[in-house]
Amino acid sequence: MSLKAGIVGLPNVGKSTLFNAITKKNILAANYPFATIEPNVGVVTVPDERLDKLNEMYSPKKLVPTTFEFTDIAGLVKGASKGEGLGNKFLSHIREVDAIVEVVRCFEDAEITHVEGKIAPIRDIEIINTELILADLEIVENRISKIEKKAETTKDKEAILELNTLRKAQEALLKEIPLRQITFTEDEIRAIQNFNFITQKKIIYVANVNEEDGIIGFNSYTKIVEEYAKKENAKVILMCAKLESELSGLEEVEKKEFMQDLGLSSSGLDLLIKATYDLLGLKTFFTSGSDECRAWTFKNGMKAPECAGIIHTDFQKGFIKAEVMSYSDLSSLGSEKNVQEAGKLRLEGKEYIMQDGDICFFRFNVTK
């Protein structure tokens, strides 16, 4: 399941430093090398201690974590929606991602100039949000002008629904409200989904601080960002991108020792990966055995046959049943045999909604 988050921000906020940390991050030690799909896309693992435990229990020949893509979006300046700077490139790339990671500068450094002259996190956030709103508004208004006459003259139900939904979106955007804050019905969502509106995408803010504040865990700027994010139910990940870049270049043992010396229990980058994964409603199921233990990404609410299809389309076409045990049962009982003897190994059918942490063996039959 290929999903990705786009990293955005004004110049000199630490966006590139964060992406450099991502591109240096090592994939789990399991002969699964770091991959760069293209120069601005980095692939990282989703940290998951459960996979480590399965590795201990099964000692598989191959261990494969689930992965996530981060895209370094071209820089943004005021007027991007009108083509200023690399605005057109920025906007076209950001429409292709599934979630937005907005890096906000929350540190002072006389040697690193700020494009707007001084540090002001909320102003920076609003510059980007305004440009994204204007970009969506242009699409909305252009589409309204094309479909308005058709909807009013033909009384076509689909055209009327689309027009009314676009007007609803237009009203919000004119009030500078991102579309992710507007409640749309399922029919309305379907009516506008092909437009891929930027402000409809979910967002996480990264408060980029200096090394000292990264260890402390806050400063006066980060508190302001957190208060702002609360208004739209968005999450804030505080991190020092410079420190994360240093950490990601270390071997795992060295990294843990360095973090212990700093008093850090987990890296900001790992927190960001997990938070982005959760933001998109993603969950993990596992397949396990002596040959391979693998984590698979699925969307919350997917049924067993759909998840089987993530592994191979034939698994979904010929789905019969899924043998399922939960990771928590396997971990507490110690082996598949113990899980079975305890009556915790289940056979689930086509209507079973997969749960995070399910360990599955899919039964299928495909006749030619």
266, 267, 272, 274 alpha-carbon torsion, rounded to 10°? -40
Residue type, 346: R
Short-list 244, 271, 356, CA closest to 20: 244
**Of 62 and 118, the one with more pLDDT:** 62
Q: For residue 34, give the 3-state DSSP assignment.
A: coil
**Residue pointed to by tokens 């950001």:** 94
Share of the chain above pLDDT 70, in %: 90
Tell me how far apart the alpha carbons of residues 55 and 49 are, in angstroms, rounded to a whole number. 10
Tell me how far apart the alpha carbons of residues 86 and 206 are, in angstroms, rounded to a whole number. 22
pLDDT digits (tens, 9 = 90+) for 87-139: 456 677 788 889 999 999 999 887 777 776 788 999 999 998 998 999 899 99
**Is the pLDDT at 39 greater than 60, yes or no?**
no
Residues 6+ apart with CB under 8 A from 223: none
**What is the reported pLDDT for 69?**
85
- The residues pairing with 360 across neighbouring beta strands, listed in sequence order, are 324
- Strands of the sheet containing 358-364, edge to edge, are 62-64, 292-299, 282-287, 358-364, 319-326, 346-348
Tokens (6 digits) for 40: 């601005």
CA distances from 279 to 66, 122, 202, 274 (A): 16, 22, 7, 9
- What's phi and psi for 97, nearest 5 deg? -90, 165
pLDDT digits (tens, 9 = 90+) for 284-296: 999 999 999 999 9
Residues 6+ apart with CB under 8 A from 260: none
Q: pTM (2 decimals)?
A: 0.82
**What is the reported pLDDT for 74?**
63
**Is the pLDDT at 75 greater than 80, yes or no?**
no
- The residues pairing with 43 across neighbouring beta strands, listed in sequence order, are 35, 69
DSSP H stretches of helix in the chain: 15-24, 49-58, 87-94, 121-154, 157-174, 186-192, 211-216, 220-230, 241-248, 252-262, 268-279, 304-311, 313-317, 327-333, 336-341
Tokens (6 digits) for 262: 């700093």
Residue type, 38: E
Residue 298 half-sphere exposure, CB side, CA atoms within 13 Å? 24
Tell me how far apart the alpha carbons of residues 290 and 295 are, in angstroms, rounded to a whole number. 15
**What is the reported pLDDT for 25?**
54
Lowest average pLDDT, out of 5-9, 102-106, 112-116, 354-358, goes to 112-116
**Is the pLDDT at 218 greater than 90, yes or no?**
no
Tell me how far apart the alpha carbons of residues 275 and 269 are, in angstroms, rounded to a whole number. 10
Tokens (6 digits) for 99: 């979630």
pLDDT digits (tens, 9 = 90+) for 138-182: 999 999 999 998 888 888 899 999 999 999 999 999 999 999 999
Tell me how far apart the alpha carbons of residues 149 and 167 are, in angstroms, rounded to a whole number. 14
**Beta pairing class for 202-208 and 235-239:** parallel
Tokens (6 digits) for 211: 């090394």
Q: For residue 95, give the 3-state DSSP assignment.
A: coil
